[in-house]
Structure 1
Amino acid sequence: MEQTWRWFGPRDAATLAHARQAGATGIVTALHDIPYGEVWPIEAIRQRKAEIEADPSLGLRWSVVESVPVHDHIKYGKGDDLKQLYANFSQTLRNLGACGIRTVCYNFMLVLDWTRTDLAVGLPGGGRALKLNVHELAAFDCHILQRPGSERDYTPDVLQRASRWMDETPDAAKDRLLANIMAGLPGAFKRYGIEELREVVAAQATMTHERLRANLVQFLENVLPAAEEAGVSMCIHPDDPPRDLMGLSRIVRNAKDIDFILDAVPSPNSGLTLCSGSLGANPENDVPAIARCFAPRIFFAHLRNVTKDPDGSFMEADHLGGDVDMVSLIDVLVEEEQRRRKEGLPRSLLPFRPDHGHELIDDGARQTHPGYTVIGRLRGLAELRGVMTTLARQRGYEM
């Protein structure tokens, strides 16, 4: 499997040299400076590719795009510019294909991306981890955002703890909670203030699962022909967390949702980004089983782990710790890659990256995006590589 590393561009404190020292050979990046909905020019794609390949001794290549953002109007299914937005996304796919970049990860989450309430949970020895505390989410939703009807989405116990948190927490920590929730837009420079977030959440209160699904289907119908023409594989990322959030519908939560999406617009270029951490945050999801079910349609993998609490809270764990059976999951992915090689399928090499990492040792001295530390991801990649190497040798697979 191809070991990759997410890089946010030249301003990223986690550098390309760090990626190579960690053992990665593929880079996962995007053109974050280009506004959502605009075409990625070939010249800009070539420039980013040249930056990645500038030092031949590193041996790096641009392996996966994460992400070409889907404009909000596409997700909302409305706006006079829909036709142009579909055309722009399609042209970006053609431009990427023309530059030899064949895998595009995308998501269809409304308003927010991945969501955590605490970005610095203490670990033994002084490390830090990301966590979603449900009572803090409820405090934000019910007391700070003041979303109408929000109380119906939480248990009485959670609501009680949320009220206590509001009473006992300093104002500075309450202000920080908004920033923590906004941190899930790691590649974007847009951040919502509380009033703006209140407005956009309210505007999407009537967006049902059925309507959002229909908008996704319409999007795929319009852009997949260009993906096929360009030889680009599009792989949708699961919702994180995989459940409705602050009144916002989410539609990539489990095997049933994934099956619907892949069947709705049949195409060999439509597939899945298998994210073990996102899917693993739902106690009903058997992540290795989901991987086995959709193995031929997995074009990219995010590997991280979570530990879950009974109230729905979860924390990002060690890559080989937590509730997801990572060894069994990797076994499925290694086996699928070998199948592709034996059948002589094009681009049989399956890219994966260590998704998120704890803040370890001197990671705190670098201003990296939350979760995208250097040493924490280096450790995760090393652990995952060890499992893959062991499984491959046990089964006589080619590495």
Structure 2
Amino acid sequence: MIESWRWYGPFDKITLPEIAQTGASGIVTALHEIPYGEVWPVETIAARKRQIEEAGFDWVVVESLPIHEDVKRGAGDLDRIFANYRQSLANLAANGIHTICYNFMPLLDWTRTDLAAPVARGGTCLRFSAPRMAAFEIHMLGRTEAEADYLPEVVQQAAIWFQRATEADRETLLNSIMAGLPGAYDRYDVPALREALKTYDGIGQDDLRAHYARFLQEVVPAAEDLGMRLCVHPDDPPRDILGLPRIVSDADDIAFILGAVDSPANGLTLCSGSLGANPANDVPAIARRFADRIHFAHLRNVRKDPDGSFEEAAHLEGDTDMVDLIAALLEEEARRRQTGRADAVIPFRPDHGHDLLSDAERGTHPGYPLIGRLRGLAELRGVARALSSGALSSGALSSRATA
């Protein structure tokens, strides 16, 4: 597997020379400064690629080439937007970049309610609190219908939290929920978010699926002609929030997407944290079922609570058997080599890490600290090396990791 690292370009407080010390060889990044729906100029792509290569890396994955909200709503000047997306793909291919990660989450990207939840032995992590999210939806946004989306005890806890919360507490919650949006666009205050949500009125799961299928029909053939691999990132969290449908949350969703346009260019970003937050998902089983269409992997772990809350665990802890998952990816790489596939090696990156030691002082993007991800990469690298050596079976190593 290709060890890679997400880098936010000019927005990132972690430098390329620092990333070099992690041992990663690949960079995962995007042109976050370009508004959604606009063409990525070939010259701008070339300049960013040159910067990455001069630092000793390969630009292995674009994360993300974002999809304009009009596509998800099925409205607006879609012909222009689809044409721009195809042109951006062509410009990336002209620069030798062929793997594109994207998501189809309406309005918001990954969503957390706490950006610095304490970890037992020190440090902090990202957390999704069902009671705080319910408080935001029901009491701050005034979506009383959201009570039906949460357990009764969660609704009660949400009311208590809201009654006790100060204005600063509520502002912190809003900022935490907005923190998952990359780049410099589309941050909302409460009134603006209410207005933005109205643009999705009447759009249910079937409608969103139809809009997604049209997107795939418009862009996958172009990607295939260019020798590119598109790979959708699962929903995070994998559940409806804010009254917005989520349609990339489990194995059935993935099967629909990959079948909507059945092409090697239409693939999956296997995110173990996003899928792992759904109690119904067996992440290693999902990886094996869709192995031939996995073009990129995000490896992280989560620990779930019965009320629907979850938090980021250390990479080899949490509810997902990370050893078995890495074994599944290595098995797929071996199959690809046997069949002569050009894309035999799967790039991966350590996803959301804990803020450890001096991480909190750096003010990096939430979930993307230096030391916490370095720890994660080292742990994942060790598992992959041990499995690749054949010295231990995945089952034996898994039992040792959890002992």
The Cα of 1:147 is off from its aligned counterpart by 1.7
Contact 1:104–1:235 (CA under 8 A) maintained in structure 2: yes
Map of 2:38 onto structure 1: 38
- Secondary structure in structure 1 of the residue aligned to 2:287: helix
Matches within 5 A, 1:205-244: 205-244=201-240
For residue 2 of structure 1, report the CA deviation from its aligned partner.
0.0
2:266 pairs with one of 260, 267, 270? 270
1:50 to partner: Cα distance: 0.8
Q: Deviations over 1:317-343 (max 9, x none)?
A: 000000001000000001111111222
Distance in 2 (CA, whole Å) between partners of 1:162 and 1:17 is: 44
Q: Partners in 2 of 1:134 and 1:124 — Cα distance?
A: 20
Structure 2 CA distance, aligned partners of 1:62 and 1:255? Answer: 29
CA 1:116 to 1:341, structure 2 compared with 1: closer, same or farther past 3 Å?
same
What is the CA RMSD across the aligned residues, in angstroms? 1.3
Q: Report the TM-score when normalising by structure 2.
A: 0.95
Contact 1:117 1:177 in 2 (8 A): yes
State the 1:396 CA deviation. Answer: 10
> How many angstroms apart in 2 are the aligned matches of 1:203 and 1:11?
29
Decide which of 320, 325, 331 is 2:327's aligned counterpart. 331
**Alignment partner of 2:61 out of 61, 64, 82:** 64
With normalisation by structure 1, the TM-score equals 0.96
Per-residue deviation, 1:10:
2.7
Matched residue count: 393
Counterpart of 1:272, as a letter, is L
Q: CA deviation at 1:148?
A: 4.5
Cα deviation for residue 200 of structure 1 reads: 1.4
Residues in 2 aligned to 1:169 and 1:268: alpha-carbon distance in whole angstroms = 49
Can you give the 5+ residue segments of structure 2 that lack an aligned partner in the other structure? Answer: 394-403
Contact 1:186 1:369 in 2 (8 A): no
Where do 1:53-92 residues align within 5 Å?
53-55=53-55, 59-79=56-76, 81-92=77-88
Map of 2:22 onto structure 1: 22
Q: Does 1:301 align with 2:297?
A: yes
Matched ranges for 1:90-169 at <5 A: 90-169=86-165
- Counterparts of 1:331 and 1:337, CA distance in 2: 10
Q: 1:315 aligns with which of 307, 311, 314?
A: 311
User: By how many angstroms is 1:3 displaced?
Assistant: 0.2
The residue type equivalent to 1:273 in the other structure is T
Matched residues in 2 for 1:321 and 1:17: separation?
29
| Corresponding residue number in structure 1 for 2:396 | none
Q: Which amino acid aligns with 2:11?
A: R
**Deviation string, structure 1 residues 3-33 (Cα, Å, up to 9, x no partner):** 0000000331111122211111000000011
Aligned residue for 2:48? 48
| Alpha-carbon separation, structure 1, partners of 2:201 and 2:149 | 13
- Contact 2:32-2:182 at 8 Å conserved across structures: no
Aligned equivalents of 2:279, 2:149: Cα separation in 1? 18
**In structure 2, how many angstroms separate the alpha carbons of the residues matched to 1:84 and 1:275?**
31
**Runs of at least 4 residues of structure 1 off by over 4 A?**
none
Which position in structure 2 is the counterpart of 1:285? 281
User: Is the 1:186–1:370 contact (alpha carbons within 8 Å) kept by the matching residues of 2?
Assistant: no
SS at match of 2:61: strand
Residue identity in the other structure for 2:61: V
Structure 2: distance between partners of 1:125 and 1:184: 25
What's the CA shift for 1:186? Answer: 2.9
Corresponding residue for residue 399 of structure 2? none
AA paired with 1:76? R
Q: Distance in 2 between matches of 1:292 and 1:126?
A: 35
